A and B are shown apart, each in its own frame.
Chain A
């Protein structure tokens, strides 16, 4: 009797293990997927990679992060080509320049390597998908937040890197939303942050002198967040002028916690990494027809305030001070 039971159990276990092994979502540890960036190692990419790694862990495959330390086209393309030479299971790349990456991406895909872009796209390449954040939507979310903060009425300044494509799109989304929904809001000043904190602070402080009626500042990029808050602080306007920042620079985080900044727009960084990995896995294993893979995934934004910033950072793979957990 006992022997029979033993046999049944053994058969069941064997069956279960076979069924288990056949799960299409069980990869092998020898499958290596790469995430490649320029300016490698900065917090933003680390947060993206935390999602990439989390997905790899679920699927039982290996995730590797690499890239080029400077803002150099040849540098990132060279790393990409060298990684592609290893014939990895898949590559998620953020393209430093959309045109420079067309050829490298297409060559990798011709070799049978699945490639997706995340954060910065190369739309003319044959990449299977672009997983990023809709900049216009991010700007719209900011407009809704500021309207709520000011009770739908007041004067707003925008601080940003003038001429930088993704940032200009956010501004456009902000302006369109204000125009459509909030007649009481008025954008009275557009200030250039010059891509650098000192310039951002100086220019914003000057704008605050010129427009003492400003009720809120939307700082549209990471540099602006620090500079805008600094200007508000140095001109003695804390509390009087509301500040909405962008991204999670450690300085921005500490200002959010101390109340100088009212909120910051956090991009879905870990989601970009996670869905990049999922798309690459599906493609590598031929699990679905190519048409099932969306050409664009908007990972969305969430606005972090004093109340929820710790949770938001945690979900993005960052510590409460905004540093990578790993």
Chain B
């Protein structure tokens, strides 16, 4: 990552954005930049500027026809994700597209297929290239681990008198096949959460000592991860709920 010895402070953000776009950062550093940029419009704009400036360089690489099997594979992945989506699930709230679609009216099953693709494929680069996107709606702040989408699990976290933490469901919990929920602690002022382990749908009781002595102002977050939990030590899937202690 950049040091500040040779560049004015105003350049540091642009340098960080450039290092991110070029791919000079390690995986952990990339995750930090993505999280920061999701909250910092100036950093996101700097990343977007580099992406656009450098686009012509990508055209120097000759195109190669992809394998014929690739498109059927993409179609199959989306169809498989659609089958995993519960039939009763309504489409999530989405913003309208920027221009009226000239295609025929959208059939609801198609939209559900699209939504299921989102649920079934939480990609590692889920925040990547966010600078071109509208920001998602802000998450609610609550002591409970409040859900973002309507069908996310709902949990309540309680600090126990002896110092432990009880996290229990307050409603029906559905975890997609092949996925696990994971619990995280984000200390006040920290930028990187610490894992508190996989969160079973039935809840979990963490023993004393699982939290730092002074957890006031910390946030408890729940993310959707691959089976067994995040492979990176940081959230890789969407954060589906959270609240402050």
Are A and B subunits of one complex? Answer: no
